[in-house]
Structure formats: C-alpha cells, structure tokens
Amino acid sequence: MTVCLTGDVHHMSLETREQPYMSRSEAAAAVEYAEIAAEFDVPVTLFLTGKVVREEPELVDRLIGMETVELGGHNYYAFETLAHKAFRGLLGSWNGPRRFQAWEIDRTIAAFNERHVDISAWRDHAYRHDNNTVPLLAERGFTHFSDVVGPGEQVRCESGLTIVPVNTPPDHEHVYHGFRTPKFVAEDEFSGPFGDESFTIEEWYDWLLKEIEVCHRKGQPATILAHPGCMDLSDRLNIFRKLCSILSEEYETVPISEVDSSD
C-alpha cells in the first residue's frame, strides 16, 4: 500500500492569508515538517515557488540537504502579479499565453538550478493548470505532475508525464487554521471535489486515514496534500507527527517521482 506525502511552500512576499497568523515563514515551517518526517524515515515531496527559493535560500538549502526530501516546482510567482490577473480577465487562464507560461516555468527551473537542484515534479499553485501546462512540462523533461484533485482520481500517463492526483482531502480546503475559522467557512462559498466542509485537524486526520484506505481498496497509490503552513497553524505539527508515525508503521511511503503509471 503506497502513500505519497506532499506539501506546498510559498514565498513570504506572496502575503498569503495564512502568513499574518504564522510566527515564521512557510519555508521555516517546511524545514521542521521535513525533519519530523525524516525521524520516521518518511519521504516528502515539497513543491516550492521559484520566489521562495530565491527569497529564503538558506532554508531551501537545508531542505536540499535532507535525503528524505524531494523538491518540485510550484510556479514562480504563484499567479499574483498584475500580468497574471490581466491574463485571467482576457484569456480566462491565470497561466497566460503559452509563451508566458513557458517563461515562468523556465524562471522556476532557473531558481532551483541556482541551488544546484534539478526538478522533475510539478504542481501548480491552486491547481491552476491549463491545456498548455503538461506539454510545456514534458518538453522540459518533467516526469511527474500532481495537479488533479478528487476522490477516485487515478494515476495515469499524459503526454509522457505521470499524473499523480491528490486523491485524499487536501488540508488547506478542509482544516480549520489561521483565517479559516468556522465563521469564515460558514460564510464562504467554496466547494471542491471533497465537498465544502472543514474540520478540526484531529477530525481531518481520521477522515484522511479512511480515504487512504479507499484508495488502496481501488488499487491506487494515495497522495496526501498537507501544507507545512497549515500543519503549523492548526496545532504546531502535532497531528503531522502522528501522521508520519502511522505512515511509517503501516504503509510504503515514496516520493512523487517514484510513482509509476504502469503499476
């Protein structure tokens, strides 16, 4: 029974809604997150924006130095520039024209290369891919793409890339943390593939384990999306430690790059 443990890490200058509630950067939380996973010999795949690689290189270098950490790309700007917003209005795509999207992917690759890291896995910020994304990644030698979310989603091959879906409930959308209070959720109109409800971190943990078993009954690897920032805000990574413990005891854990679409 195979599980991939993944997380997304954003740059401080993005000023996400979580950051005012955090006592440290997402990159700093990611280091502790990775260290906890390493205690249990659980590999993690962390998708970093290109800007976090350039804004916090010392913390990124600490992640690079850990044998249990695989790094992947998460866009460069996370779509929060005026150009991205203009393209959204004009073209209906946050990624913009093919040439612009290619430029941003290349900029992200370059940021990692400055740290002497080659990346082969990718997840778009907020899962905002379009019809150009997979072909552009394939042209640049990427092998794995983890941008599809939903129960019942299966690992598959597309344009030479292995598509590794997030097929368990993502924490950001379903765990109370930071700004995401019961009042916020009650007034929000969000509804995703796993529904519209949010839960305490303990309740999400129980739900997550059940969904992992659903994936395995279907013969599919289970992919977890647990953000370092969300895990930090919800309970200072305590449930994350519990999760790593049970993953190490009961499952085979692998980085995204080891998932094979032919299995």
175 confidence band (pLDDT: 50, 70, 90): very high
The pLDDT tens digits for 64-109 are 999 999 999 999 999 999 999 999 888 888 999 999 999 999 999 9
Could you tell me if 66 and 41 are in contact, meaning their C-beta atoms sit under 8 angstroms apart? no
The pLDDT tens digits for 230-245 are 999 999 999 999 999 9
With a cut of 90, say whether residue 251 has pLDDT above it.
yes
- Taking residues 127-151, report their average pLDDT: 97
pLDDT of residue 1: 80
With a cut of 60, say whether residue 173 has pLDDT above it.
yes
Share of the chain above pLDDT 90, in %: 94
The pLDDT tens digits for 114-134 are 999 999 999 999 999 999 999
With a cut of 70, say whether residue 53 has pLDDT above it.
yes
- DSSP string computed for 164-232: --B-S--HHHHB-BTTB-HHHHHH----BTTBS--B-HHHHHHHHHHHHHHHHHTT--EEEE--HHHHH
Residue 159, CA distances (Å) to 15, 94, 142, 156, 234 in order:
34, 22, 11, 10, 38
- DSSP string computed for 214-249: HHHHTT--EEEE--HHHHHHHHTTHHHHHHHHHHHH
User: Does the domain made of 2-258 have the CATH classification 3.20.20.370?
Assistant: yes
61 confidence band (pLDDT: 50, 70, 90): very high
Please name the helix (run of DSSP H) or strand (run of DSSP E) that holds residue 107, with its range, or none.
helix 98-114
